[in-house]
């Protein structure tokens, strides 16, 4: 398959909607498998998405169509081949693929939260500390950070006996709730949600849907992959099809 590559847009379009906070402009991404004869897997070919404050956009499409690749590109976890990823950071538009590492770190600390499906656990670090880390990195006092996480753990029905244990041995749903508390503790203007309810029971799914709705009402722009139709229909305003 051949793609006609468009020139990389490097300027922020002038016609973005007034409350736009993220604008992915014509993203192209092809994986090259160097250890498998250089096989090429074209995944994104001009994907464009603008999200405004207070909106939630669902990424939907068949397995392997590129949803996760797009989401990881929005967090600059994957390097795109062409395109621009504009994010409003502290009042200024920045293009993620062109940022030096320290500025990308600042964008991730202050502007874009990412709820991955799986929690990265470190042996011997208790759940409370794992979840409080992003707040502490922002300079929040340890006591306030701890209070905020305790409040979220309670809301998410994470049993108190687990709070001081390392999540290494937690169940999938327990780990997922630690991850959600970690991301929702910070008031990010943009959040990327990768199947945030995949391991949760019905009651905790409701809690997460309520957290998402509350954050949207505060003006957070969200992009998410939701395999659960009910969750997607209830929290998303529109869909980007892959």
Point out which residues bind ligand ATP (CB under 6 A).
31, 41, 43, 61, 63-69, 242
CB of 89 to ligand ATP, least distance (A): 25
CB of 77 to ligand ATP, least distance (A): 10
Give 161 or 241: the residue with its C-beta nearer to ligand ATP: 241
CA–CA distance, 21 with 195 (Å, rounded to integer) = 22
CB of 78 to ligand ATP, least distance (A): 7
Give 47 or 179: the residue with its C-beta nearer to ligand ATP: 47
CA neighbours within 13 Å on the CB side: how many for 133?
17
Give 66 or 167: the residue with its C-beta nearer to ligand ATP: 66
Going by DSSP bridges, is the β-strand pair 221-225/190-194 parallel, antiparallel, or unpaired?
A: parallel
CA–CA distance, 156 with 150 (Å, rounded to integer) = 10
Give 93 or 242: the residue with its C-beta nearer to ligand ATP: 242
CB of 128 to ligand ATP, least distance (A): 31
CB of 161 to ligand ATP, least distance (A): 34
Give 71 or 128: the residue with its C-beta nearer to ligand ATP: 71
Going by DSSP bridges, is the β-strand pair 112-115/238-241 parallel, antiparallel, or unpaired?
A: unpaired
Which of helix, strand or coil describes residue 93? strand
CB 13 within 8 A of CB 64: no
C-alpha distance from residue 87 to each of 9, 95, 177 (Å): 14, 6, 27
CB of 185 to ligand ATP, least distance (A): 26
Q: Per-residue DSSP letters for 125-158?
A: --HHHHHHHHHHHTT--HHHHHHHHHHHHHHTT-
Q: Is 212 exposed, middle or buried, given 0-12, 13-18 or 19+ CB atoms closer than 10 A?
A: buried
CB 28 within 8 A of CB 45: yes
Give 27 or 185: the residue with its C-beta nearer to ligand ATP: 27
């Amino acid at each position: 398959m051949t793609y006609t590559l468009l020139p990389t847009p490097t300027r922020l379009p002038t016609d973005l909607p007034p409350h736009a906070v993220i604008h992915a402009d014509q993203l192209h991404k092809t994986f090259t498998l160097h250890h498998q004869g250089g096989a090429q897997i074209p995944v994104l070919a001009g994907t464009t998405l603008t999200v405004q404050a207070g909106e939630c956009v669902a990424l939907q499409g068949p397995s392997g169509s590129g949803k996760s690749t797009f989401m990881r590109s929005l967090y600059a976890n994957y390097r795109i081949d062409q395109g621009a990823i504009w994010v409003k950071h502290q009042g200024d538009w920045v293009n993620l693929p062109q940022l030096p590492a320290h500025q990308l770190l600042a964008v991730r600390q202050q502007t874009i939260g990412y709820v991955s499906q799986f929690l990265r656990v470190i042996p011997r670090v208790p759940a409370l500390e794992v979840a409080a880390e992003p707040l502490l990195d922002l300079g929040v006092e340890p006591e306030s950070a701890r209070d905020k996480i305790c409040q979220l753990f309670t809301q998410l029905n994470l049993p108190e006996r687990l709070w001081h244990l390392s999540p290494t041995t937690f169940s999938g749903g327990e780990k997922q709730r630690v991850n959600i508390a970690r991301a929702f503790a910070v008031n990010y203007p943009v959040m990327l949600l990768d199947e945030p309810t995949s391991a949760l029971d019905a009651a905790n799914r409701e809690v997460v849907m309520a957290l998402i709705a509350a954050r949207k009402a505060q003006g957070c722009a969200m992009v998410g992959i939701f395999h659960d139709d009910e969750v997607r229909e209830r929290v998303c305003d529109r869909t980007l099809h892959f």
